[in-house]
Amino acid sequence: MLAGVLLLIFLPPLVAKDLCKDSQDGFKVRLSIKTALGDEAYEWNESEMFLFRSTLAYAMRKQSNQDTYNITNILVCNDTQRVSFVFVVTSPNDPDQLIPKEQVERAVRQNKHRINNAFLLSDMTLEFMGIPPTLATPITYDTEPWLIVFGVVIGAVAVGIVALLMSTVSRKRRAKEKAAGLSEVDEGIVKENGTTLSSLGRKEGVYNQAFSNDDRFTEL
């Protein structure tokens, strides 16, 4: 009788352990707390395990929209020093029946973000073996940033080209005006008194003796 009572008391956890160990619906979980948090790493103990089981129960509740999941539905075994273990989920209606793998996977994937944050970990440091992490959506830009910078640079270059070309054109125009102005002054001097000696006083140009007409005056 005593044996029967003892068996009755110890049967559920034994059965539970068997459910967990032999099951193919379980997932191995691995935590790397020290890698993630360094000096601020917390100790992994029963309380932390309690938190884990409750977050998983929460995930199952959200996924199945049933408020019946409880912490007793999450069974854990194969605890190691690495901080890794295996867990299975039993159905709230029937403690001997396990929730299929796919359902658990869906629940975990949907709520990975919340589970990670509960433990201050990330997808890299809280691994569910067999459940690949959903990668974050890549950032999409309306206009690629490189096109913006390209536009700015090309705009500056265009402004530079236009400015330099304008200055060349205006410089040429000024030179032409100067040359035209000088030639008028030149003719004026000759018309006034017919002498080209006053041209010797001008600084511009090189006085070229080959073309001077001075000797004609000395003949007089």
Partner 1 sequence: MKLKLKLPNPGLEDRIPSHAELEKLELEEAGERPQWDNKAQYMLTCVGFCVGLGNVWRFPYLCQSHGGGAFMIPFLILLVLEGVPLLHLEFAIGQRLRKGSVGVWRSINPYLVGVGIASMLVSFMVGMYYNTIIAWVMWYFFNSFQDPLPWSQCPINENRTGFVSECERSSPVDYFWYRKTLNTTAVIEESGGLQWWIVLCLFCAWTLLWVCCLRGIETTGKAVYVTSTLPYLVLTIFLIRGLTLKGSVSGIKFLFTPDLDELLNPATWLDAGAQVFYSFSLAFGGLISFSSYNSVHNNCEQDAVIISIINGLTSIYAAIVIYSIIGFRATERFDDCLNGNILTLMNTFDLPEGNITESNYDSFLQQLNSTAPAVFHELQLKTCDMQTFLSQGVEGTGLAFIVFTEAITKMPVSPLWSVLFFIMLFCLGLSTMFGSVEGVVAPLQDLNILPKRWPKEVYTGLVCFVSFGLAIIFAQGSGEYWLALFDSFAGSIPLLIIAFCEMMAVSYIYGIDRFNDDIKFMIGHKPNFFWQATWRLISPLIVLIIFLFYFVTTISKELTYITWDPQSENFPTLEKKSYPDWIYAIIFILSGVPVLVIPAIALFKLIRNRCCAKEEKHTATEPFYSISDKIQIPDELDRTSRSLH
Contact residues toward partner 1 (CB under 8 A) are 30, 32-35, 80-84, 132, 134-135, 137-138, 145-150, 153-154, 157-158, 160-161, 164-165, 168, 194, 206, 213, 216
Task: State the minimum distance, in angstroms, from the CB of residue 80 to partner 1.
Answer: 4
Q: Closer to partner 1 at the Cβ: 66 or 167?
A: 167
Cα–Cα distance for residue pair 16/37, rounded to 1 Å: 33
Asked if residues 33 and 42 have their Cβ atoms less than 8 Å apart, the reply is yes
Quick count: other Cβ atoms within 10 Å of Cβ 17? 14
Task: State the minimum distance, in angstroms, from the CB of residue 163 to partner 1.
Answer: 9
Quick count: other Cβ atoms within 10 Å of Cβ 20? 21
Q: Closer to partner 1 at the Cβ: 11 or 158?
A: 158
Burial 136-169 (b: 16+ CB within 10 A, else e): eeeeeeeeeeeeeeeeeeeeeeeeeeeeeeeeee
Task: State the minimum distance, in angstroms, from the CB of residue 29 to partner 1.
Answer: 12
Q: Closer to partner 1 at the Cβ: 134 or 170?
A: 134
Q: Closer to partner 1 at the Cβ: 71 or 106?
A: 106
Asked if residues 114 and 59 have their Cβ atoms less than 8 Å apart, the reply is yes
Task: State the minimum distance, in angstroms, from the CB of residue 145 to partner 1.
Answer: 5
